[in-house]
Amino acid sequence: MSTTTTNAPSLIEQSIEILDRSRDGNDLEPFHLSLVQAAVNNHLTAREVEAFHQLYDSVTSGQYAKPWLAGVEHVTRDHQGYIYWKGSRIEHFTFSVMEEDQLKHTTQRLAERCRHIEALGLPVCGHSYFNDWLQEMPLDFPQAYKELLHFTGTPYEHEDGRAIFPMQGRTQDGWPVEARFLAVKDGAITERSLPVRLGDVEYHALTGQYGCRLARCGQAEHNGPGAASLAQILDWLRRHGITQLVAQQLVEHLKANLEAADAAGPTPCGAADQSTMRV
């Protein structure tokens, strides 16, 4: 008579399975990845062995979810220090210089900012998260201005007085190759694009080639327009003739641009183009 003995997989075999099921560990909380690395190197303590088995069970059962950063709901991190709100990347922390109390306080404040943006009816994204004016914005703020300030991120101004609103330009191999933007003066909205040299960013094309500067809304010196108050950015919009009607037209352009960019994906840079609409 023969008997068959089923042996449990070794820690190394379990580690390999965890990595296979988590995109080589990219989907793991950094602490959990370090636990896997310690298991491979046979450096687990008795308590860590128990934690490793719990990790293995959750990953292989398909029930694994990253724990909230500092216990703050909906906030997670990746291995490069980027911070995510409900899966959207919005921030970067240098964890090596942050004490536990500072990390918790900073993460809690981040979550408060994100919840306020959501309460405004806007999606949370990295390009607008840092703008102070969104945090001051009341929930009953005019919709056209609300959406414009959300989509704009960083406004510029041209030396001839035009207000400049960046859009999504073409990219190639992950690098921007086009700076696309809307310019407004005297009620006319003009869409333009400029080539971006490989290795540069849109900022260099707008300021170096086109004679723009970051919008000066009254914010402190050496600060971008995102540091302006809500009253200051509103005053800047009105000084440049951005009425609610113009703001709504700009929002329609910006939304259409984002939809087209999502559909097209990276494409080679083409010649600069221009189209104008008066409102």
Do 219 and 238 lie in one domain? The reply is yes
In a shared domain, residues 144 and 251: yes
Instruction: Place 6 in a pLDDT band, splitting at 50, 70 and 90.
Output: low
Residue 266 backbone phi and psi in degrees, to 5: -65, 135
Residue 272 has pLDDT above 70, yes or no: no
d(CA 218, CA 227): 9
Residue-level pLDDT at 77: 93
> Is it the case that residue 168 has pLDDT exceeding 80?
yes
Same domain for 31 and 158, yes or no, is no
pLDDT greater at residue 115 or residue 263: 115
**What is the per-residue pLDDT across 37-71, written as a single tens digit (0 to 9) for each?**
999 998 899 899 999 999 999 999 999 999 999 99
* Cα 44 to Cα 203: distance, rounded to the nearest angstrom: 49
Whether residue 83 is predicted with pLDDT greater than 90 in this model: the reply is yes
- The pLDDT value recorded for residue 132 is 84
Q: What percent of the chain has pLDDT over 90?
A: 67
Joined together, the tokens standing for residue 235 give 């005053």
pLDDT band at 266 (very low <50, low <70, confident <90, very high): very low
- Positive or negative torsion for Cα 225, 231, 232, 238: positive
Tokens describing residue 89: 């990347």
Interior/surface letters 152-182, b for 16+ CB within 10 angstroms, e for the rest: bbbbbbbeeebbbbbbbbbbeeeebbbbbbb
pLDDT beyond 60 at 237: yes
Q: Check whether residue 30 and residue 87 sit in a common domain.
A: no
What is the predicted pLDDT for the residue at 4? 43
Domain containing 47: what range? 11-60
- Do 186 and 259 belong to one domain? yes
Terminal C-alpha separation, the chain: 91
Is pLDDT of 189 > 50?
yes
Please give the structure tokens belonging to residue 122: 């806007």
Tell whether 31 is covered by a domain: yes
Per-residue model confidence (pLDDT) at position 245: 96
Say yes or no: 101 and 137 in one domain. no
**Does position 264 have pLDDT exceeding 50, yes or no?**
yes
Best CA proximity match to 264, nearest among 135, 165, 168, 161:
168
Same domain, 186 and 253: yes
pLDDT over threshold 50, residue 100? yes
Residues 240-260: pLDDT tens digits?
A: 999 999 999 999 999 999 888
Q: How many domains does the chain have?
A: 3
Task: Check whether 270 has a pLDDT greater than 50.
Answer: no
Token representation of residue 209: 């080639």
Q: Which two tokens stand for residue 216?
A: 């000066």
Please determine, for residue 151, whether its predicted confidence score (pLDDT) is greater than 70.
Answer: yes
| pLDDT confidence tier of residue 84, bands split at 50, 70 and 90 | very high
CB 228 within 8 A of CB 219: yes
In a domain, 5, yes or no: no
When the pLDDT of each residue in the chain is averaged and rounded to a whole number, the result is 88
Distances (CA, A) of 66 to 26, 90, 203, 251: 11, 17, 35, 35
Count the Cβ atoms, other than its own, within 10 Å of residue 188. Answer: 14
2 falls within a domain: no
Same structural domain, 212 and 244: yes
Residues 109 and 33 in one domain: no
| Burial annotation 40-62 (CB, 10 A radius, 16+ → b, else e) | eeeebeeeeeeebeebbeebeee
Query: 229 and 161, same structural domain?
Result: yes
Name which of 107-121, 127-141, 163-177 the model is least confident about.
127-141
Whether residue 262 sits in one domain with residue 219 = yes
Q: Same domain, yes or no, for 147 and 259? A: yes
Among 92, 110, 126, the domain-final residue is 126
Q: Which of 92, 109, 126 is the last residue of a domain?
A: 126
